Amino acid sequence: MTPIIIQTSEAEANIYQHGAHIAHFQPSGHKPVLFMSAKSWFEPDKPIRGGVPICFPWFGPGRDPAAPKTPMHGLARLRKWVIERTTANSMLFSLALPPFEAKFNVEIGPALKMAFEVRNTGAQPEQFEAALHTYLAVGDIREVTVTGLENTEYLDNLAGLARKREGSEPIRFTGETDRVYLDTRATCVVHDPVLKRKLIVEKKGSDATVVWNPWIAKAKAMPDFGDDEWPYMLCIETANCKQHAVTLAPGTTHKMAAVVTIQ
């Protein structure tokens, strides 16, 4: 599998047609923004671990715990997307997954700009989930804090999707974390004292934010993730999932966008 390389005076990026997957983004003068596992598979029938996987048309096992869907996180990250347009600093991909047609636009510059659009091409209303499953590179997750989700209700995947509420302090990480924050369009800021930077994730058209780090045991259980890589990543995912699944009328579209900047 060979990536498409975008390189300008402002930034560089590597993108694969497989999954329309952004595997690398680095603004000029900065360290890489995205985490990629050294153990990731680069095979046509498997997802890429790290970067920005696109989860669609369902997230995780789907909305119904009693009837989980496979493969995990949907079909989009396992398919070869069509390249519709390229410029010096952008790419537009498309994928037909009837009754849906998806488009993913990537713009590379001082910020990473992503726009994911879904159209219902069928004759009936259809529902989908989606996420830009963004793996951010951090210096040490144990030193990281996240602001923007204070006092927000979330579903805890480590407690059977129990509903909980975040406190008024920034999020800190002391163990495995897998949460779907609900009813939020807030900007999240990842404060990283080790790399001496902030990563800012802004979003539109998304009512859920997923926060994930596998920690020690989960990392060891994943064959495409290094046992000792967990301190160096944090997923802040722009999503519409669980109760925020999107229902589209025939012929209508929905757009979800995220912008990742560095300070």
Given its phi and psi angles, is residue 124 left (phi above 0), alpha (psi -120 to 50 degrees) or beta?
Answer: beta
| Single-letter amino acid, residue 99 | P
Does the annotation mark 237 as catalytic? yes
Residues ≥6 apart with Cβ < 8 Å to 223: 39
| N residues, the chain | 263
Say if residues 136 and 32 touch (Cβ distance below 8 Å). Answer: no
Say if residues 151 and 166 touch (Cβ distance below 8 Å). Answer: yes
Kindly provide the b/e burial profile for residues 105-130, where b requires at least 16 CB atoms within 10 angstroms of the residue's own CB: bbbbbebbbbbbbbbbeeeeebebbb
Alpha helices (H) in 44-161, listed in sequence order:
none
Which one of 18, 133, 166, 202 is the catalytic residue? 133
Q: How far is CA 9 from CA 3, 26, 233, in A?
A: 19, 11, 26
The residue among 75, 132, 82 whose CA lies nearest residue 103 is 82
Which one of 73, 229, 237, 244 is the catalytic residue? 237
Neighbours of 245 (CB within 10 A): 19
Does the annotation mark 24 as catalytic? no
Q: How far is CA 172 from CA 134, 140, 168, 248, in A?
A: 18, 12, 12, 36
Rounded distance, CA 66 to CA 45, Å? 26
Q: Tell me which residues are annotated as active site.
A: 133, 237
